[in-house]
Chains A and B, each alone.
Chain A
Amino acid sequence: MIWKEVDIVSWMDKTNEKIQANKSELTILDRNIGDGDHGINMSRGFQKIVDQLQETNYSSVSAVLKDVAMLMIRHIGGASGPLYGTAFLRLSLATENIQTIDTTTLAKGFHAATAGIKQRGKAKSGEKTLIDVWSPVTKYMNDTEEINPTKLVQVAELAMENTEDMLAKKGRAAYLKERSIGHIDPGAMSSYLLFQSLAEVLEGGSTT
Chain B
Amino acid sequence: MTYVGIVLVSHSEKVTDGLKEIIREVIEDVPVESAGGMEDGLIGTSVDKITTAIRQADQGRGVLIFYDLGSAKMNTDLAIELADLQEEVELVEAPLIEGAYVGAVEASIGRDMTEILASIHASFPKIEIG
Contact = CB atoms under 8 A, between A and B. Distances in A.
Contact of A120 (B43, B46, B74): B74
Interface residues of A, number: 18
A109 interface: no
A83 B47 contact: no
B35 to A, nearest CB: 14
B70 A171 contact: yes
Contacts of A79: 70-71, 74
A78 interface: yes
A163 to B, nearest CB: 17
Contact of B38 (A77, A82, A83): A77
B22 interface: no
Contacts of B82: 73
A78 B74 CA distance: 10
Given A79-B71, A81-B71, A120 B78 contact: yes
B36 interface: no
Given A85-B78, A86-B78, A120-B78, A73 B71 contact: no
Contacts of A85: 78
Interface string B31-42: 000000010001
9 contacts: A73-B78, A74-B46, A77-B38, A77-B71, A78-B44, A79-B70, A82-B78, A86-B78, A120-B78
Contacts of B17: none
Interface in B31-82: 38, 42-48, 69-71, 74-75, 77-78, 82
Contacts, number: 43
A78 B71 contact: yes
Listed from nearest, the 7 A-B pairs whose CB atoms lie closest are A82-B74, A79-B71, A77-B44, A79-B70, A82-B78, A82-B75, A73-B47
Contacts of A78: 44, 70-71
Query: Interface residues of A: mostly helix, strand, loop or mixed?
Result: helix
Nearest to A174: B130
Given A77-B42, A78-B71, A172-B70, A120 B77 contact: yes
A74 B74 CA distance: 13
A136 interface: no
A126 interface: no
Contacts of B45: 77
B71 A74 contact: no
A149 interface: no
Interface string A79-110: 10111011000000000000000000000000
Contacts of A170: 130
Interface string A15-39: 0000000000000000000010100
